[in-house]
């Protein structure tokens, strides 16, 4: 009988770690569907929430309390990592649109996704009916009236807005609009969330209100703007002029001082740079200051901080109560979610809340776009009207319409 020969085998080798597949963030962007989904992308992450496990109720309690209650209830129900996603309006008394999704898919930032650099298809030409509310001349008159009151010493700053109502000849393609907004500025804050029955809030904001990660906070107020130019030399000239503009530097300082004053009581240390820097979007240059701090109480949630800051002078004015009254007198529409905040928070209190600008509310075949400008005593009605027109461009480019 012959003996069989056993050849020793090498121990199994662990498989080499797999590199992240290209396109995890753009996969979430492409998966977005209006109605049931909530999409949020920031310079740090991409989130896609699907379905609704629980709505955050509307009552007289602070939003941070109601949100934390919803998150704690979701944990008790077996969700190990619940997240609230959605938006809060400009008027704190109005109803917010916040919910715990049934599922949340996560990916790295869009700007780190190699596929985000692929060319984005242009918006298909369509027929749009447009209506400005108020018309440019009416808006300029409101700015002039506010400037007169500021020069008389009534208040220091007010942010006045106008809207552009677009009605399409065919159904809106919100996923395509969202993809174009995100790919034109993958380093910004892109969002699409339900804002009411049959309505969607969609946009690409450049401005972080506040983020909290553990015991650290970051805020990035923007104030002072200039339209960009397609001519490189002119674009650089406008950026340099913005950095030296007394009017815009004053407007920016008012906002930064308010952010410092609001956040300081929450912090053991707060770092506020002395001079602003520039950030750019597809349509605008903005003066920017990044504020960072260490929380005195690490249990202070991101929404507690955001609610304390909202509304900053960057979207309302100063003094706040007077500016609110001027806005109510001057704007012939309700702002709703515009200049509120949109974002997310988890059960540990971490989260990101973004100022809701460069946005539109979609309903049926209609889009309602918003744009505003900070008005101070040195403002020019013509310049502020032109600034709002430039800010409309972000969304007009995404839908293939013109002003």
Question: What positions carry a catalytic annotation?
Answer: 157, 207
Distance, CA of 372 to chain centre: 14
C-alpha distances in Å from residue 288, one per residue of 65, 204, 217, 244: 31, 17, 16, 13
Please check whether residue 192 is in contact with residue 200, taking contact to mean a CB–CB distance below 8 angstroms: yes
Gap between the Cα atoms of 306 and 329, Å rounded? 26
| Secondary structure E strands in 170-276 | 189-196, 199-205, 208-213, 216-219, 222-227, 267-271
Query: Which tokens in the block code for residue 74?
Result: 């979701």
CB 398 within 8 A of CB 184: yes
d(C-alpha 51, C-alpha 100), whole Å: 9
> Do 353 and 342 meet the contact criterion of CB atoms below 8 Å apart?
yes
The verdict on whether omega for the bond into residue 311 sits within 30 degrees of 0, i.e. cis, is: yes
Using alpha carbons only, how large is the chain's radius of gyration in Å? 23
């Amino acid at each position: 009988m012959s003996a069989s020969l056993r050849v020793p085998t090498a121990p199994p080798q662990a498989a080499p770690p797999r590199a992240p597949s290209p396109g995890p963030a753009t996969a979430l962007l492409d998966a977005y569907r209006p109605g049931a989904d909530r999409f949020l992308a920031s310079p740090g992450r991409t989130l896609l929430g699907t379905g609704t496990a629980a709505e955050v109720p509307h009552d007289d309690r602070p939003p941070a309390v109601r949100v934390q209650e919803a998150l704690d209830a979701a944990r008790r129900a077996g969700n190990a990592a619940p997240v609230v996603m959605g938006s809060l309006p400009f008027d704190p008394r109005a109803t917010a649109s916040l919910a715990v999704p049934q599922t949340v898919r996560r990916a790295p930032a869009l700007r780190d996704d190699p596929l985000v650099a692929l060319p984005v298809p242009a918006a298909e030409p369509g027929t749009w009916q447009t209506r400005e509310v108020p018309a440019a001349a009416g808006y300029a008159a409101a700015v002039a009236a506010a400037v007169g009151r500021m020069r008389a010493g009534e208040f220091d700053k007010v942010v006045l807005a106008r809207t552009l109502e677009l009605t399409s000849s065919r159904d809106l393609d919100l996923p395509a609009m969202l993809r174009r907004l995100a790919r034109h500025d993958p380093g910004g804050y892109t969002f699409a969330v339900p804002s009411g029955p049959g309505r969607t809030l969609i946009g690409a904001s450049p401005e972080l209100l506040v983020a909290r990660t553990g015991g650290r906070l970051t805020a990035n107020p923007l104030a002072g703007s200039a339209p960009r130019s397609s001519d490189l030399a002119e674009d650089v000239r406008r950026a340099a002029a913005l950095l030296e503009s007394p009017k815009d530097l004053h407007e920016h300082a008012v906002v930064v001082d308010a952010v410092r004053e609001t956040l300081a009581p929450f912090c053991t240390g707060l770092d506020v740079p002395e001079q602003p820097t520039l950030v750019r979007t597809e349509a605008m240059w903005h003066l920017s200051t990044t504020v960072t701090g260490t929380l005195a109480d690490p249990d202070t949630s991101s929404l507690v901080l955001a609610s304390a800051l909202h509304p900053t002078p960057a979207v309302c004015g100063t003094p706040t109560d007077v500016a609110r009254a001027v806005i109510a007198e001057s704007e012939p529409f309700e702002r709703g979610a515009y200049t509120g905040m949109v974002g997310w928070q988890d059960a540990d209190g971490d989260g990101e809340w973004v100022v809701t600008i460069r946005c539109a509310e979609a309903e049926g075949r209609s889009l309602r776009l918003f744009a505003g400008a900070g008005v101070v005593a040195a403002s020019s009605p013509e310049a502020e009207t032109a600034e709002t027109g430039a800010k409309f461009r972000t969304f007009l480019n995404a839908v293939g319409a013109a002003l």
